[in-house]
Structure formats: C-alpha cells, structure tokens
Amino acid sequence: MSDDTEQSTAPHAQTLSLERDHDVPLVSVVVVTYFTGRWLNACLASLLDQDIAVELIVVDNGNPPDITSGLLEMAQVNPHVHVLTGHGNVGFAKACNRGARQARGDILLLLNPDCEAPSGALRALMDEGLRYDGLWMVGARLINEDGSEQRGARRDLLTPWSALVEGFKLYHLAPGHPSMVRFNQHQKPLPSETTPIPVISGACMMLPATAYWALGGMDENYFLHVEDVDFCFRFHRNGGTAYFVPHVTIRHHQGTSAASSLFVEWHKTKGFWRYFWKNFRSDTPLLLLVAVSGAVLALFLGRALLTPFRR
C-alpha cells in the first residue's frame, strides 16, 4: 500500500503500547531509501527472511520510478510491507519519523537500506535489548565486505574537543592519553559481551517505540548525518543507555547511493555545526566552538577541492 500521509505531531509515548495479537508485528523496521542502488532488494529480502514477525516500512525519499514501482508491487503482495512515497527527499531524520509514525510494533528498528541482516539477527538484537529495564537501545556490529569491523557502530561521546582530536588525528600525538580519546572505537579490541556505549549508529538502531517517541524522535533539523549522534546524546542525557552487541553482525555496504559526495559532505558539515551549537553552547568556551566550526568547514572545503582529482 502507498501512504504519503503524516501526522502533524508524534504520538505520545503512552499511546504506542499495543495489545499483542497475530496481526500486530513484534518489530517494525523503518528503511529510508534514496537512490540506494543494487543492495536495496538484498536488504528487504533479508528482513523478510527473519525468524520473527516483522513489519517493514519503506520510506521512499525519491527513488527512480522503476524502484518506486517495484516497492509498491512488493507492498501489494505482502501485507507486512508498507511504502511511504510521494513526499520527495525530506532528509533522513524526517523520513525516519514518518516511518516510525506508521509503526505498529512495540519494538522499532532503524536500518539503512544497504544493510543485510542474517536470519536470526533481529531476534538476537531484540532479546538482548529486552534484558534491560528503563530506556534502552541496541546496535549490532557493522561489518565491511571483507568482514572487518566498520567504524561508527561503537563511538564515544562527541564533544567539540573530541571532534578536533578525531578530525585532525591528534590522538597520534599522545596515544592512550585520556584527553586524546578517539570518537570512533572500532579499532579497539572487540568486547566479548554486550557493552554500554555512548553512541551507536543510526544505520542499525533498535529500541522500544515508546523510548523513541519519549525523545520526540529524530531531530528533523538534521537533513543527513549526525542526527543519530544527536539522538544518542539526548538519549543518554535523559537517562537512557545504548548498548553495542558484538555477537550480532550486520553487513553494511557503504557508499551505494548515487547521491553526490559533495551533497552528502555539505549536509554532514551542517549537521556537525548544529550538533555542537545546539548541545554545547551553554557550557563550552565560545572560542572552542568557533574553532571546531571553522575546522569542520575547512575539512569540507578540502574535500570539495580534492573531489575533481579523485574522479
């Protein structure tokens, strides 16, 4: 079915507790797609091959007509697949919220359209999350094509200082020093069990629907990138805990979208600006905020100048 309607406000957290019956999927998976490429079908097939009931909500942010038609055909033959289309590219954060508003499951999973979830992965993630009380969310170990761990699935708290350390590789100056802690943690030894972590990736983020809406969902002022870092920051600030689950692996085929790399980098730059000024303005020296904002811009300009040569 096609549905481009949107509620004006997010449902209140308490309205999302549903009675269990055979018509209500346990896990609602929101997949936002925009010119994803050849891995979209593999992603959707892997989700429909899980060993638990799954409601699949595909948010079409403006794919080619043949891709959209294929998604609508899939929805016509599978009652657990819903396609939201017709709204154009509204950005990742807003699209996640659109999809989550339609979700009927008690558990919500945000999954990138270039991810492949092996059979049993969603049940394992859900079972791990349900071990915990209060506000929880869990993320899987994301792996590259060669099986190596991908950066982003486990990260430290992003602050203006840690952004400078990471962006300019200052950690090489004093490896292991507490002031030089890296934002991305994928090069650290893999933990042997589920571990609390400040930031997990929006490419694979599972949590109760009530917890998602307790924070109002994703901040729609982010268009692409950094919205997941901001969500984790707010989640932690409101008493929630994110967990990295190392024994659940999901293959993430990065860089499959046909979107311009400069388009992506520009929105990432704006996302960092918003994140720092929104969350650290009240307790961070103005000079440091200005410095990190300038550094983010400088990195973008550097990438923009190098792009023609890379091609």
> CA quadruple 237, 238, 243, 244: dihedral positive or negative?
negative
Whole-Å CA distances, 14 to 57, 161, 213, 232, 270: 21, 38, 9, 21, 33
Tell me if 26 sits within 8 A of 50, measured CB to CB.
no
Split at pLDDT 50, 70, 90, the class of 16 is very low
13-252 has which CATH code?
Answer: 3.90.550.10
Task: Report d(CA 233, CA 222) in Å as an integer.
Answer: 14
Tell me if 279 sits within 8 A of 233, measured CB to CB.
yes
pLDDT of 170 over the 50 cut: yes
Q: What are phi and psi of 268, to 5 degrees?
A: -65, -40
Task: Report d(CA 310, CA 290) in Å as an integer.
Answer: 30
Task: Report d(CA 128, CA 1) in Å as an integer.
Answer: 32
Tens-digit pLDDT profile for residues 244-253: 999 999 999 8
CB atoms within 10 A of CB 211: 20
Q: Which residues pair with 115 in a beta bridge?
A: 252
Specify the pLDDT at position 304: 79
Tens-digit pLDDT profile for residues 118-141: 999 999 999 999 999 889 999 999
pLDDT of 307 over the 70 cut: no
Q: Strands, DSSP E only, in 231-285?
A: 241-252
Specify the pLDDT at position 183: 87
Task: Report d(CA 96, CA 33) in Å as an integer.
Answer: 10
pLDDT of 23 over the 80 cut: no
Mean pLDDT, residues 244-269: 85
The closest alpha carbon to 268, from 310, 223, 220, 301, belongs to: 223
Q: Strands, DSSP E only, in the chain?
A: 27-33, 54-60, 81-84, 107-111, 115-116, 136-143, 195-196, 204-208, 241-252
Tell me if 193 sits within 8 A of 167, measured CB to CB.
no
Tell me if 219 sits within 8 A of 202, measured CB to CB.
no
Mean pLDDT, residues 95-118: 96
pTM of the model: 0.87
Task: Report d(CA 85, CA 208) in Å as an integer.
Answer: 25
The owner of tokens 């994803």 is 36
